[in-house]
Amino acid sequence: MSLGGVADDAEPLFAVAQLPNGAGVLVAPRRVLTAAHCLRGPRATVRFRSASAWSAPYAGDARAHPDYALPLGDDGRVAAASLDALGPDLALVDLDEAPHVDGVPVRPLALGDGRAGDRVSLVGYGADAPGGALGYVRRRGDAIVTRAWARHYALDARDGAVMTAGDSGGALVRADGAGGYVVVGVASLYAEARWSLCVRVAPYAEWIRRATSPA
């Protein structure tokens, strides 16, 4: 996303939205997929950006995955004995209307899957450096999936871009071979300038598609 990333105004990435507490990605005409820990209530507001302009704010009902869990210790840090104890850090925002930017409908990205060694990109609106300003530039950071588990991916800073503040909920994408991208993960946790943990979307594709199908 940001650390090791560059500004990207390419049209396929217009689908990556800004939230007040992170980012998300449009996966159906009115549904945004994000990280559950980015939610601050039953409603959420998102904005989209083209190459030259921001969209109006779009609001919608928000819901975390029913199995979401993020156990924290007394120090405020994640205190999970295993990755499975974290639960899926995923949420959906059901927008009241389909988003447009510069008068053009925002096109959703399809879901996909990946594996260790894949070339991927992190896309979000986080800081350009530790302690830097947040939220004004969409950045794409190219990386390699360092490790892949059943429900998560790990990215190591030695292999490419990693998350920083404000990037949570952003999209982990890979090229689809036709000039576009598919979403393979959602940015979840990170250690500054060291590694990132992303939720793998494929195990939850049925939940995402079932939830998004009416929209």
Q: What pLDDT is stored for residue 215 in this prediction?
A: 46
Distances (CA, A) of 30 to 33, 39, 57, 100, 204: 10, 17, 13, 11, 18
Residue 1 lies in a domain: no
Q: Could you tell me if residue 169 is left (phi over 0), alpha (psi between -120 and 50 degrees) or otherwise beta?
A: left
Q: Which CATH number belongs to the domain containing residue 90 in this structure?
A: 2.40.10.120
pLDDT score recorded for residue 183: 98
Q: Is residue 93 part of a domain?
A: yes
Exposure of 50 by Cβ count < 10 A (0-12 exposed, 13-18 middle, 19+ buried)? Answer: middle
Residue-number span of the structural domain to which 130 is assigned: 6-212
pLDDT given at position 55? 96
Q: Name the pairing type of β-strands 6-7 and 58-64.
A: unpaired
Residue 32's pLDDT is: 98
The backbone torsions φ and ψ at residue 16, rounded to the nearest 5 degrees and listed phi first, read -85, 115
Task: Give the separation between CA 122 and CA 35, rounded to whole angstroms.
Answer: 14
What pLDDT sits at residue 21? Answer: 87
Q: Per the structure, how many domains does the chain have?
A: 1
Q: Is 130 inside any structural domain?
A: yes
- Is 121 domain-assigned? yes
What's the whole-model pTM score? 0.90
Contact, 144 vs 5, CB < 8 A?
A: no
Closest CA to 169 of 143, 190, 142, 192: 190
Mean pLDDT by 10-residue block, N- to C-terminus, for the chain (215 residues)?
64 92 95 95 96 94 90 59 74 97 95 96 78 70 94 90 84 94 94 84 93 50
Contact 170, 24 (CB under 8 A): yes
Element (H, E) at 210: helix 205-212
Alpha carbon of residue 85 to chain centroid: 20
Whether 26 and 17 have beta carbons less than 8 Å apart is answered as yes
Q: How many C-beta atoms surround the C-beta of residue 203 within 10 A?
A: 13
